[in-house]
Structure 1
């Protein structure tokens, strides 16, 4: 019964994804190295793709295998516990394929971004506290949940022996050595998604430009200006660059910061 339901859902999903991209059955078949008849059988609900073909379809359409199968599983990040309800927040392996076990914040381009459970809890608690959940309740919930997740249960097997933490430490030192006026000392860098930290800057020639990829995961933080007022410093970095900007405080939690000003963009 499950396979019948899955096949029915999958046929509509593949048909929709193919037609949205203006592809014929022949074109899709060529891209994923199957026959046109195989594509036709999927879309007629006669069969569903095998595991390896689902991986190819996932990469071609940029959606998760879970989505292709009609979302039969409730995915959660196996590092932080976040529900993976949207393919856009799923982490990616080094080859760009989606890894349905993790979110973008915890797993980026094949790299696990957290090795300290307490540090992760500190980050998550800030996003969970609201009028219905206190900080104490959020912290207690995470302390119970995280040890049950696959990443933390297999930490010794999955960890990189501190290499990524060492890279973050090096980046923090490089940023502090810039001695930017008014910016307090940076203590740590967190995983950030590009679309949340990618404002449009006005250059001296009045042209406007964005420097980041909305879909990529970076390292960064925000710091209150030492001079007070309503400005925050925003720091974003990765293997290739360091970016420092300022913006108005009233929108620090939004995707559209107010009055962003680029302070520094430095290639590493």
Structure 2
């Protein structure tokens, strides 16, 4: 096992050779941070599971139709950091390629589009996109309320 969180996500990562694995870099893959490693180093597996449950509750509290979150997975920022078009014609990326986030892809009922959800210690992001991340749209990007409860940096 080469991960701090015990999920052995490093084994599944296509960029493991480039990173070296979670334990080797003390939870700072690619020079960034891993939400799971940081949480587990701070309070153990129990705190990590509590964090996931809290984030799932926060996503449900958004009240987005068809968004039913059952699980959050560790996701590489470079994989989920989509470029969103803005009304002024510019585009923006909201995430960091070097971080590991918690998130999931959830199919929208009756649609060929999916919700993409991503969270870290500071923010919740819900977006919608087509096949392979095409035509992404930001649904909600907001501060997470869990920061104080878990002693995390709220990004303020």
The bucket for the TM-score relative to the shorter chain is 0.7 to 0.9
- Aligned with residue 166 of structure 1, among 50, 53, 65: 50
Would the alpha carbon gap of residues 89 and 225 (structure 1) be closer, same or farther in structure 2, given more than 3 Å must change?
farther
Q: Any residues of structure 2 matched to 1:1-268 within 5 Å, and which?
A: 77=2, 79=6, 80=8, 82=11, 85-88=16-19, 90-91=21-22, 98-99=25-26, 108=34, 111=37, 160=44, 162-183=46-67, 185-226=68-109, 228-248=110-130, 250-251=131-132, 257-268=133-144
Larger Rg: 1
How far is the alpha carbon of 1:174 from its aligned partner? 0.8
Counterpart of 1:179 in 2: which secondary structure?
A: coil
RMSD: 3.1
State the match for 2:150 in structure 1: none
TM-score (norm 2): 0.73
Q: Is the 8 A contact 1:113 1:191 kept in 2?
A: no
CA–CA distance in structure 1, aligned partners of residues 16 and 45 of structure 2: 31
Unaligned runs of 5+ residues in structure 1 are: 1-75, 115-158, 252-256
More strand by share: 2
SS at match of 1:162: helix
Q: CA deviation at 1:193?
A: 0.6
CA distance in 1, matches of 2:103, 2:51: 13
Cα distance between partner residues in 1 of 2:2 and 2:94: 28
The structure with more helix, counted as a fraction of residues: 1
Tell me if structure 2 keeps the 8 A contact 1:77–1:103: no
Using the size of structure 1 for normalisation, the TM-score is 0.44
Post-superposition offset of 1:77:
2.3
Pairwise CA distance, 1:215 = 0.7
Gaps of 5+ in 2: 145-156
- The runs of at least 4 aligned residues of structure 1 exceeding 2 Å deviation read 76-81, 87-92, 107-110
